[in-house]
A and B are shown apart, each in its own frame.
Chain A
Amino acid sequence: MIRVDRVTKVFRSRDGADVTALSDVSMEIGRNEFVALVGASGCGKSTLLRMIGGLLSPSQGGIEVAGTPVTGPRRDTGIVFQSPTLLPWATVLDNVLFPLKIMRQVDAGAMDRAHALIDLAGLHGFDGKYPRELSGGMQQRAAICRALIQDPDILLMDEPFGALDALTREEMTLELLRIWTEQPKTIVFVTHSIPEAVLLADRVIVMSPRPGRIAEVIDVPLPRPRDFASEASPDFQACAGRIRSLIFGARRPRADTAA
């Protein structure tokens, strides 16, 4: 579904120096696979996500989605950002319909689909509310609905729950699993949270910084459906422990990272 082939991304900083954000990264992601990108800050995981989404272009190498090279944002790709980025002047319904309005594809069925998505995301009855009347978690639910409205095959999520409090975050993780079960998609999910990545993903791609590259790809053997009880299983602990040692391995072991 997604093919990243020896991609390197170099940014020119303001003082003219070149900064290599990603170096020679390759990966393949299958249809309806849930892949998490994990790594310390500056490992280029958001950059990689933006390149798959067509918002940035690689300096070297190529990215293919469904067999065609990515040259710009694609219709079959939906993006969820860290902040909900809802339009403050539009209701939840209008925010969800926003992509279709931009693409001039609002038809009779669009309304029904929007209402169905809003219900699916647990926002029933909030269609006419404005973003400022919603909690942070509800705003992010609306943003997920918006990313799903044109029924994309691929959902790119850039730390979507990073700005939420810990409890809301756990709740949203389960919600996302539920939505993904009802509407299977290829999901690329960038996160800082190791438990979140293991709980959600089929494969966790661990990245290392400066320059960003893939440290290791870890298969998560946990059976689905998963819930928080899965965290107690030895497989979960083994995966999380391995990821932790990859990320912190270069550093001196510390008590608070050993758990």
Chain B
Amino acid sequence: MQNPSLRRSLASARDVLLPTLVLIGLIVVWEAAVDLFGIREFILPAPSAIWTATTAIWGTVMDHTIATLTTVVVGFLVSIAISLPLAVFITASPWISTAVYPLLVLTQSIPKVALAPILVIALGANEAPRIVITFLVAFFPLVIAIATGLLSVPSELIELGRSYRASRLQELWRIRLPYAVPFIFSGLKVAVALAVVGAVVGEFVAADRGLGYLITTSTAFFKTPLAFGAMILLSLMGIVLFQAVVVIERVFFPWSSGQDTVVG
């Protein structure tokens, strides 16, 4: 244990190993409990039953996963494409923010699940309402995060730009937006997790494929193991997408992910 880098890698191995062992332990207890108490499969399936049911129709499950993933990613990208200019617009002047901000809060007070069937009538039974719902669920925290970032630029930096006669556009592009990057990414992390929720809500209401659809159809026939399998895949999708955002931030904006790059 003389070598500090060895000690550090051992410590990080422990950080990964310990939760993994606990997780495996929980799965074993779950499996044993279902077996021991004879819990019926449609109430609580054993992990092995979930695995068997899901892998039996793996190809179909993958199709559903890809359908959901597409909705999530497209909805997420639409959220970014709308939130960024919207946040810039809101922060352009106190007048605009006073006028627009209450409307934004209003859109958030509408329960998205209640809105979903109405959107299906308006937009038709296709991909559009699912993407719109994904967007509506995901965009709000993103707009707030970006607007907060744009407004938290220290006045000295703004004054610096002014002392070189920076235009409004240069000020935005060279000072405000770069400064807001850490805020934008914390918004993106929240938004990507919410996008998964939004896509599933959309699929619950109107869809002929997707993991949300798979859950509604399989529970309708008491195929609980398959529903559990779809749920686990959704969680994994959320984790993977969240980590993807983290990696993008680390790779392209290393100064944004903060102090750990200095210390580590």
Contact = CB atoms under 8 A, between A and B. Distances in A.
A102 B181 contact: no
A99 B161 CA distance: 8
Contact of B165 (A72, A79, A85): A72
Given A87-B175, A89-B253, A89-B256, A73 B164 contact: yes
B165 A89 contact: no
Contacts of A53: 163
Interface residues of B, number: 21
Interface string A69-110: 000110101010101010111000000001101110000000
Contacts of A224: none
Interface residues of A, number: 22
B255 A83 contact: no
A132 B262 contact: yes
Contacts of B161: 102
Given A81-B156, A85-B160, A73 B253 contact: no
Contact of B157 (A55, A87, A102, A130): A87
B164 A85 contact: no
B255 A130 contact: yes
A170 interface: no
A101 B165 CA distance: 11
Contact of A73 (B154, B165, B175, B178): B165
Contacts of A73: 162-165
Contact of A132 (B157, B160, B255): B255
5 contacts: A55-B159, A73-B162, A87-B175, A99-B164, A133-B262
Interface of A: 53-55, 72-73, 75, 77, 79, 81, 83, 85, 87-89, 98-99, 101-103, 130, 132-133
